[in-house]
Structure 1
């Protein structure tokens, strides 16, 4: 039998430990996905660096899809499905193989400042951009036969301040939407579902530690009580350019993932379980009885992680 030196044995042992640590960085899950928001700035403000780390995390975590929390293209969305900014702010930035999965976006206020319908129509051009309507849902089957239900919302029409915006096209885009119809759709969807996990995604947060902390929150007034009533487990938002986690009630958890490019300073964090002004994104890992998420910065460091059990 070939002999191995003590030094060689220690090297092999270290390699095995490192491999184990690498493979255990992200938990195994039935469904895993990334969440990014407020990102499309033609690669600037660390957008490229975040995208590169998303690719690495996507590979290691074996992600199934990517969710965006809106403000997909700055400064004023897109003009059409053929707008060149799609290439410079999306296609040429998110290049990694693991990022060529389905992307499920929602619209933000900056998207409304352009042609929001064009972002829906881009789904017919891009093989990974999947936005069938301004609000929609996706259902996934978990290993025990239970389900994960995700509702993608269009929250800009619920922000009353937008109806007095100086930009006339922006006002028209917002005012053209039927908010009552959307809330009825959401209520019916969630009330009739017996999904094990119910997640909602929108652009505007219900709470924030960011610059808008003390502003009147019309979106929260419209949605928070309803989400609690119909059993939403997690609400994912952007709009504020940082990473944050709050637990709003024993049932309803809340995240801001809006740090895909330009970040802003925090105002006050006294009510947040975690809040940091850092470029990055969130990674979710869902099993029938356990939901785990992590905030990952552009260098790959896990800033915060949390498990929620049922």
Structure 2
């Protein structure tokens, strides 16, 4: 009899363990690396960008890996750094792309958490207002305005302010391109004044999310970084800890040692392209992947996970 009880206890224990391996439809085993580990008592979120391609370019495979990773470290929410729908955004809240590029792709149960989203330049080619309005339809899609902020309090008492911005109107060259004519409708002075106001607060961590990076070693390494000219002084003034971006189809970590902000590019949600290093680069790789961040009172631990479940890079941001 005692062996029966022991057997039941073992079964119960095993069934409660997070599942970190599954098989594809072809029967191939897929699992998250054992290097992917949880920080005790941390608050977790994932960051992904440049993903909306109907599941192509390994978008679906990465989505499944994110769900698998979520069974090991469940995210409280997911940040999207923009270019949510290629090539030209969506036409309306009823556009089929909502189903084919989002709902049916990120269908794993650990991904049914809040998504906090910003607009990318490709989203500006369509009806960007529809992405705002979809917040009233979807339980998980959150974009209440073109720019907004959200405060989070962690279990260990840390206060985090996330500031989500709209960077396309801050890219000066777009005002010369017909496909981005909708940037003319935006009041960039008002957005910058708003940023200055909402970042002027005493919290443990300040994280800004925008589509365009301020630094890159990728495809646009030689380009004028217009968004940097507009917002870097605000990030420095208010000692912003992290700036999360996409636009470059890769994964990067960049840190100018003379400035307070760590720059993380997570734009490898589907199609990737060749990347590289620049003066302030710490890490760069062109592979489909996402960034998992774990925040405590004292640190932010960032793990870069590729489509095969490997932790290809990790770093810690310490509070100064």
Fold match by TM threshold 0.5: yes
CA deviation map 1:23-62 (0-9, x unaligned): 9722234310000000000000010111011101122112
Pick aligned residue for 1:224 from 232, 241, 248: 232
Pick aligned residue for 1:179 from 184, 188, 193: 188
SS at match of 1:25: coil
* Superposition misfits of 4+ residues, deviation over 6 angstroms: none
CA deviation map 1:190-239 (0-9, x unaligned): 11x11100000000000001111111111011111210101210000000
CA contact (8 A) 1:27 1:61 kept: no
SS at match of 1:80: coil
CA deviation map 1:134-167 (0-9, x unaligned): 0001101123433011000000001011111133
Does the alignment pair 1:304 with 2:313? yes
After TM superposition, the structure 1 = structure 2 runs for residues 96-107 of structure 1, keeping only pairs within 5 Å, are 96-107=108-119
Alignment partners' CA distance in 1, 2:156 and 2:305:
29
Higher helix proportion: 1
Per the alignment, residue 244 of structure 1 pairs with: 252
Per the alignment, residue 189 of structure 1 pairs with: 198
CA contact (8 A) 1:23 1:60 kept: no
C-alpha RMSD of matched pairs (Å): 1.9
Per the alignment, residue 164 of structure 1 pairs with: 176
CA deviation map 1:250-307 (0-9, x unaligned): 5210000000000011144453100000110000000001110010000110010011
Unaligned runs of 5+ in 1: 3-15
Alignment partners' CA distance in 2, 1:23 and 1:101:
24
CA contact (8 A) 2:277 2:284 kept: no
Per the alignment, residue 6 of structure 1 pairs with: none
Pick aligned residue for 2:207 from 199, 203, 211: 199
Alignment partners' CA distance in 2, 1:309 and 1:269:
23
CA deviation map 1:51-88 (0-9, x unaligned): 01110112211210000000000000000011011000
CA contact (8 A) 1:34 1:63 kept: yes
TM-score, normalised via structure 1 length: 0.90
TM-score, normalised via structure 2 length: 0.87
> Could you tell which deviates more after superposition, 267-276 or 291-300?
267-276
Unaligned runs of 5+ in 2: 4-16, 21-32
Per the alignment, residue 88 of structure 2 pairs with: 76
Aligned residues: 290
CA contact (8 A) 1:245 1:273 kept: yes
